[in-house]
Amino acid sequence: MRTKRRPVTKLMVLLAVLLALFHLSFLWGRLEVPLPQVIGILAERCGLSVTPTWTDTMAVAVLHIRLPRILLAAMVGCALSAAGTAYQCVFQNPMASPDILGASSGACFGAALAILLGHSGGGVTALAFGFSLLTVGLVYLIGRRARGSRILNMLLAGMMVSSLFSAGTSYIKLVADPSSKLPEITYWLMGSLSGAQGKDVVFFLGPLLMGLIPLVLLRWRVNLLTLGEEEATAMGVDAARLRLVVIFCATLLTAASVSVSGMIGWVGLVIPHFSCRLVGNDCRYLFPASMLMGGSFLLLVDNISRNLLATEIPIGILTAFIGAPFFLYLMTRKEGA
Amino acid sequence: MGILVQGVTCAYGSRPVLQDVTFSAQKGEFLAVLGPNGAGKSTLFRCLLGSMRGYSGTITVDGEDLRTLSPGKRAKKIAYIPQSHRPTFGYSVLDTALMGTTRQRSPFLSPGKPQVERAREALRRVGADHLEGREFSRLSGGEQQLVLLARAIAQDSEILVMDEPASSLDYGNQLRILSMVRELTEEGYTILLSTHDPQQALWFSHRVLALENGAVAAEGPAREVLTADLIRRLYRVDTAFWDTPQGPMILPEVKL
């Protein structure tokens, strides 16, 4: 497998793809806004003086509907993929995904609870985010207390606590008002970026940077975690502390993603794998590749989700429709490569 | 100078694994650690490498207590060559060697040019530089062991701890890797190597530490300590020692 050839060039190509997709995404939508107008609207928003050739509706569509949604799609894709990559390295397990420690099921429980209690918008996001962090914190503490392999214990604790919160979510659905709250909960759980607003982007930016910056800086050392605790320690890395930092960052990214967009599965599992095929396992290149590719992937899927049919398809359903077959294709291709 | 282990005792739960283990190894010395399965060799190494912290007694390197050192400083003193290493994720040979240099840089930095140079030099030292671009997991067992040795050399530590490095290698590769390890002692490296083969200990090592049920059964110069009595005690096998022009041969008495 020739994975190491010119990884930097590959990262540049991925960046170019993301930027191209970012700009193209403004063109697709119910209201047609041609490219010159899009550029004009964005340029004026950036403070340049441009003679308006567009209608107010176009400006609203571009700036208040499409811009936040496009930004959020790219950011969530980036965050979920980075989190997936981080979890896979920490647990030395290519099957790990961002929900492995229960960050997603915790967030879902929080969101369902918030909707049940009559919150909407910011309240749902906040409660989802809080419960997500709480769940992973609980898993971490239980994993520490148990005897035997720390990593295995944490994975087991993750599965158990996850199913506990999933049961909680099911119970909330059971008692929720079937005419108003139940559909809302169900729709939220499917995952969607519709209704993304500027304030979602602002909320997301904090956890995104807090999670991504340490991961990017520490990415060489994360390589050593994949060798196991004993070898990493012998090479001078405080494996336990590094693992805690990486888990914390990945959890922050997952919690923030799920709380603004609902359950968007598969991105955090499939994208790290595909990035790995492209640039190899070295986290120095794997993390940036994953982040760029994740952003592009979710942006692309979100474009399909809002344009393919007259009614929007929740993005969580689409990522599974696209992600699962794609993953199977990669798996069966593996040996011949 | 060198490593000094004094009265190290440790237990898994209520089961004692090491009991009052005391020995030392001077700079440039090759110490072979012998003992039957479960004698405590691996646990002793885990104490040396910092992944087992709950022991009593002291381990000092150049007069500094290992327990007081940060992981980075300890890694500067002692490097580890695992028995076999099955990576979950594939890395290139150069990247594998490069991992040894990690402690030389700040946690937030990736290896730079001097580190890459150091890794290449280490690969040249063990004669594995032609493998540089290959993927580690696709190498043969012998090649992998060489690369792991290079990784430890790139770490620039004084002491190399090797956990049965020869156990999964073929006859020729076993002898080649042990000769190379012996050569390294002439460059000033201190070697602690566990092995299941008393013959190899006799040929290659300077001194022997024999463990039995977690306690020191014998310690001293290889040719003095390794006797038919000791081997019977450790392994319950009768042997005869034959003097040959190349040194003593251990012949096991097995029924054929």
**pLDDT tens by residue, B3-18:** 999 999 998 888 889 9
Q: Is B254 helix (H, G, I), strand (E, B) or coil?
A: coil
**pLDDT tens by residue, B124-152:** 999 999 999 899 989 988 899 999 999 99
- Examine the pLDDT at A148 and tell me if it is beyond 80: no
> Residues 6 or more apart from B18 whose CB is under 8 A from it?
B8, B9, B10, B11, B40, B43, B44, B47, B55, B214, B215
Contact A280 B92 (CB under 8 A): yes
What is chain B's mean pLDDT, rounded? 91
Residue B13's closest chain A neighbor by CA? Answer: A147
Task: Enumerate the domain spans of chain A.
Answer: 22-263
- Examine the pLDDT at A2 and tell me if it is beyond 60: no
> For position A312, what pLDDT does the model report?
83
Decide which of B205 and A92 is more confident: B205
- Residues of B within an 8 Å Cβ radius of A: 46, 49-51, 70-76, 78-80, 82, 85, 87-92, 95, 99-100, 102-103, 105, 107-111, 133, 135, 155, 161
- Residues of A within an 8 Å Cβ radius of B: 1, 3-4, 89, 92-94, 217-221, 223-224, 226-227, 229-231, 233-238, 242, 276, 280-282, 284
Hey, what are B177's tokens?
């890797």
Query: Which of A264-268, A289-293, B126-130 is the least confident region?
Result: A264-268
- Is residue B167 within 8 Å of B196, Cβ to Cβ? yes
- Examine the pLDDT at B196 and tell me if it is beyond 80: yes
Contact A233 B76 (CB under 8 A): no
> For position A17, what pLDDT does the model report?
95
Task: Enumerate the domain spans of chain B.
Answer: 1-62+159-183+190-256, 83-157
Among candidates B74, B99, B107 on the partner chain, residue whose Cβ is nearest the Cβ of A223: B99
Find the mean pLDDT for residues A98-110. 92
Contact A94 B89 (CB under 8 A): yes
Q: Across chain B, which distance is largest between two alpha carbons, in Å?
A: 61
C-alpha A261/C-alpha A171 separation (Å) is 22
Find the mean pLDDT for residues A312-319. 86
**pLDDT tens by residue, A122-136:** 889 999 999 999 999
According to DSSP, residue B210 is labeled E
> For position A5, what pLDDT does the model report?
56
Hey, what are B70's tokens?
């940060």
- Examine the pLDDT at A274 and tell me if it is beyond 50: yes
pLDDT band at A336 (very low <50, low <70, confident <90, very high): very low
What φ, ψ does residue B78 adopt, rounded to 5°? -125, 130
- Examine the pLDDT at B84 and tell me if it is beyond 80: no
Other CB atoms within a 10 A radius of the CB of residue A249 amount to 22
> Residues 6 or more apart from B239 whose CB is under 8 A from it?
B198, B228, B231, B232, B250, B251, B252, B253
- Examine the pLDDT at B67 and tell me if it is beyond 70: yes
Find the mean pLDDT for residues A66-93. 93
Q: Is B18 helix (H, G, I), strand (E, B) or coil?
A: strand
C-alpha B102/C-alpha A14 separation (Å) is 28
> For position A321, what pLDDT does the model report?
86
Strand spans (E) along chain B: 3-12, 15-25, 30-34, 55-61, 64-65, 78-81, 159-163, 190-194, 207-212, 215-221, 239-244, 247-252
Q: In CATH, which superfamily holds the domain spanning A22-263? A: ABC transporter involved in vitamin B12 uptake, BtuC (1.10.3470.10)
> For position A334, what pLDDT does the model report?
58
> For position A3, what pLDDT does the model report?
43
- Is residue A58 within 8 Å of A14, Cβ to Cβ? no
Q: Is domain B1-62+159-183+190-256 classified as CATH 3.40.50.300?
A: yes
Q: How many residues are recorded in chain A?
A: 337
